Structure 1
Amino acid sequence: MTKTVQSRALSLAPGASRREMLNLTGAAALASAIKLAFPSGAMAQGTGPEVKGTRLGYIALTDSAPLIIAKEKGFYAKHGVPDMEIAKQASWGATRDNMALGAKANGIDGGHILRPKTHLYTTGKVMQNSQPLPMYTLLNLNEDGQAISVSNEYRDLNVQKDSSPLKQAFERKKAAGKELTAAMTFPGGTHDLWIRYWLAAGGIDPDTDIKVIVVPPPQMVANMKVGTMDCFCVGEPWNEQLVNQNIGYSALTTGELWFRHPEKILGMRADWVDANPKATQAILMAVMEAQMWCEKMENRQELSEIVGRRQWFNVPVADLNKRLQGDINYGNGREVKGTNLYMKFWGEGGATSYPWKSLDTWFVTENIRWGKFDPKIDIKALVDKTNRADLWREAAKTLGVPGAPTADSRGVETFFDGTKFDPAAPLDYLKALKIKRVA
């Protein structure tokens, strides 16, 4: 391009006339002039994401790894949203409050959340002043990888999948005037439901036989160390850290309670997704690629090193990498290597990442069980309103994912105690349960 043409091009404003444009010599000069007049690219603006990023929240739990890896490995930038901010949250309560604010008010527009939170936020059940916050479930971040741990006070019982040995021990402690506590991370969230299911399966009523309390994940170990809880359910690395510090032991991993159970999700405010459909697709594709990376066993050590850094979790790699690879040191002298109980991030054809509606149906049903939702709630309507499997399928098609799911149901689910859940008949499941808050 000559200096004369270049100077003319530089002087062109976005409102330059067609005559001025055509006076430039040749098609190449015209293309160069347009590029200079529209530095970000006129056509790119029309087809790319509406924004260059937003703020997503995460809790220091291993299942937030795909959001972090997408940042660290450049997947967000690759898909046109380079300005993504992944912001640590102090607790699930703080996540809720920041989600209500939104990124424009210095909060967050989405992030790593407990799967039932989509339903609890959307209905306003856990929101300030019961104000509904419409949310979408975009993808499932992981399966398995949590655990239920017990204080060393019950070391001699060597409790495992069967919680019933704790029943008499709890009764004796209560008779002595001592308080019993089971900790989880958020009312109605996954950890709440896992520990309630486990206790109830052993004949322990989580509402009358023990007090269920909320403790932020990073504070679990410290609280058990000072003797303020009898058992807890949380994600990693906190169960492993408990064992490594010899404060308690893991009774079971949650994959033993329900193998390949859904856990955390990428959830986002519905208004943000509706206003930014292309940016949403970009975020989805970036996180899905990160899930594919996290799924590979050869990457698990590096994954542990990355998320363990001070700016992310600030925990030793030794508290992360073993359970990620299926080596479970339960504590209390029990250690099993090479299990299939490691955290899953992607699965065949993305089946782990895919947000099956049937799994949402179980979470709503189980929250009816414990009184979080009215038994008359329209389960299907709530799931259809919040689950955006259609957006996942669109992203998978763009990425060229082979064998990606297309159905809504994963079928009948089976729990460790033999109980079955048919998503086509959720109320039959409820009727069969012995300990519950509904008739």
Structure 2
Amino acid sequence: MLDVGFVPLIDAAPLVAAVRLGLDRKHGIRLRLHRQASWAAIRDRLLSGELDAVHAMAALVHGVQAGIGGPQADLAILLGLNQNGQAITLSPALAARHVDGEPLADLLRSLPRRPVLAQTFPTGTHALWLYYWLAAQAVDPMRDIEAVSLPPSQMPQALAAGELDGFCAGEPWGAQAEAIGAGRRVIRSGRIWSGHPEKVLACRREFAALQPDVARALTTAVLEACRWLDEPGHRRDAVAWLAAPDAIGLPEERLAACLLAGADEPAGEMMRFHAGGEANFPWLSDARWFLRQFRRWGWLPEAGASNEDDRLRDVLRLDTYREAARALGILLPASDSRNSVPHDDNTLA
């Protein structure tokens, strides 16, 4: 039995599907899922050994590995779980003025106090999407705002109570803020970077090294679930599973609006779990991008050693992923890097 933690988000769907479809048992393991309140809880319980593997933000893993996301620890990424599927949400008044064309920097300066914007973990992907978007619009995220960390499920109510001016989080929490009238999504993360890396399946490195057969079976089961989720019609089944109280616990129609393609959402910007394996391969180039952002915001010193790629390869379990992909007949890329980066700043809304 493997204990696997997740935060109640749409992009935990591969883990839920792997259990519901019996893919864990198919590959000779049993998964027991544990809903966690926050990314800090995910990190702490993974490091303590209470959890064997976790649904985690890719940048959180690299932050912990670098010693800037809490205690330094050697972690491993088995595969990516999804691309896209996050959003930046502002209060109704700010969102209306921003959509009408008022520059964001002017909007935030007009507030009677320093703007308060939330992300979900200091070195997580949501912090990076938020800061990248702000900086593209002449807002210095290190000086011009107060950034706070909150569990994603608490963000809509905090926005409604006036404690926040906006937040960046994974779905369905931007949709939930809109549903209760607390805020409005002003940009989806796929517009910042179409096909961006997001959640991963992570474990302690000693687990991956000392139990390679188990790590491979876990990777194979979840990879098969990712592929299943991208096949036509299957996501409607996943909506019902995610609506259960022990998963996300929101109404099905709210989750369906996030999980199923909308008419106003280009294919390259919607949440995807497999994309022929592109969403799952642990790209070395994505890992490099996260480290560059850590340096951009002063969290990590400039690279002084030439073996950074070697250290990143220790985190990215490429051989384990390749074995799982071959077992499922999934094509592997010719290179460990891809030509994919955020859109030019001038394209940001």
TM value normalised by structure 1: 0.75
Count of matched residue pairs: 345
Q: Does 1:408 align with 2:346?
A: no
Of 320, 338, 345, the residue aligned with 1:417 is 345
Answer yes or no: is the 8 Å Cα contact 1:295–1:344 preserved in 2: yes
Q: Report the CA distance shift for 1:393/1:339 in structure 2 as closer, same or farther (over 3 A).
A: closer
- 1:289-308 CA-to-partner distances (Å, cap 9, x unmatched) read 10011112311111111111
Alignment of 1:257-276 (within 5 A): 257-276=192-211
Alignment of 1:114-153 (within 5 A): 114-127=57-70, 130=71, 132-153=72-93
Task: Give the deviation of 1:322 after TM superposition.
Answer: 1.7
- In the alignment, what sits opposite 1:19? none
Alpha-carbon RMSD across the aligned residues, in angstroms, is 1.8
Answer yes or no: is the 8 Å Cα contact 2:78–2:316 preserved in 1: yes
Of 319, 332, 336, the residue aligned with 1:390 is 319
Answer yes or no: is the 8 Å Cα contact 2:56–2:199 preserved in 1: yes
Q: Does 1:253 align with 2:227?
A: no
- Find the aligned partners of 2:340 and 2:268 in 1 and give their Cα distance: 21
Of 243, 266, 270, the residue aligned with 1:342 is 270
Answer yes or no: is the 8 Å Cα contact 2:95–2:186 preserved in 1: no
- In the alignment, what sits opposite 1:8? none
For 1:96, the aligned partner's letter is R
Q: Report the CA distance shift for 1:400/1:219 in structure 2 as closer, same or farther (over 3 A).
A: same
Answer yes or no: is the 8 Å Cα contact 1:258–1:416 preserved in 2: no
- In the alignment, what sits opposite 2:154? 219
- In the alignment, what sits opposite 2:36? 89
Of 267, 273, 284, the residue aligned with 2:219 is 284
- 1:325-372 CA-to-partner distances (Å, cap 9, x unmatched) read 2217xxxxxxx2675432100012x11111111111101111111122
Answer yes or no: is the 8 Å Cα contact 1:185–1:215 preserved in 2: yes
Q: Does 1:170 align with 2:102?
A: no
- In the alignment, what sits opposite 2:142? 207
Q: Gaps (5+ residues) in structure 1?
A: 1-52, 329-335, 420-439
Task: Give the deviation of 1:416 after TM superposition.
Answer: 4.2
- Find the aligned partners of 2:291 and 2:99 in 1 and give their Cα distance: 29
Identity %: 32
Q: Report the CA distance shift for 1:414/1:124 in structure 2 as closer, same or farther (over 3 A).
A: closer
For 1:357, the aligned partner's letter is L
Alignment of 1:54-65 (within 5 A): 54-65=2-13
- Find the aligned partners of 1:374 and 1:327 in 2 and give their Cα distance: 42
Secondary structure, in 3 states, of the residue corresponding to 2:220?
helix
Of 228, 231, 236, the residue aligned with 2:166 is 231
Task: Give the deviation of 1:227 after TM superposition.
Answer: 0.6
Task: Give the deviation of 1:398 after TM superposition.
Answer: 1.7
- Find the aligned partners of 2:95 and 2:78 in 1 and give their Cα distance: 41
- Find the aligned partners of 1:358 and 1:141 in 2 and give their Cα distance: 17
Higher relative contact order (CA 8 A, sep 6+): 2
- 1:100-131 CA-to-partner distances (Å, cap 9, x unmatched) read 110xxxx112210010122222233222xx4x
Answer yes or no: is the 8 Å Cα contact 1:119–1:382 preserved in 2: no
- Find the aligned partners of 1:414 and 1:114 in 2 and give their Cα distance: 17
Of 289, 292, 296, the residue aligned with 1:362 is 289
Task: Give the deviation of 1:381 after TM superposition.
Answer: 3.5
Secondary structure, in 3 states, of the residue corresponding to 1:361?
helix
- In the alignment, what sits opposite 1:68? 16
Q: Report the CA distance shift for 1:228/1:377 in structure 2 as closer, same or farther (over 3 A).
A: farther
Secondary structure, in 3 states, of the residue corresponding to 2:169?
strand
Alignment of 1:324-335 (within 5 A): 324-327=259-262
**Runs of 4 or more above 4 Å deviation:** 337-340
Task: Give the deviation of 1:74 after TM superposition.
Answer: 0.2
Q: Report the CA distance shift for 1:371/1:246 in structure 2 as closer, same or farther (over 3 A).
A: same
- In the alignment, what sits opposite 1:111? 54
Answer yes or no: is the 8 Å Cα contact 2:230–2:274 preserved in 1: yes
- In the alignment, what sits opposite 1:196? 131
- Find the aligned partners of 2:267 and 2:226 in 1 and give their Cα distance: 20
Answer yes or no: is the 8 Å Cα contact 2:9–2:248 preserved in 1: yes
Q: Which has the larger radius of gyration?
A: 1
Answer yes or no: is the 8 Å Cα contact 1:100–1:133 preserved in 2: yes
- Find the aligned partners of 2:285 and 2:261 in 1 and give their Cα distance: 27
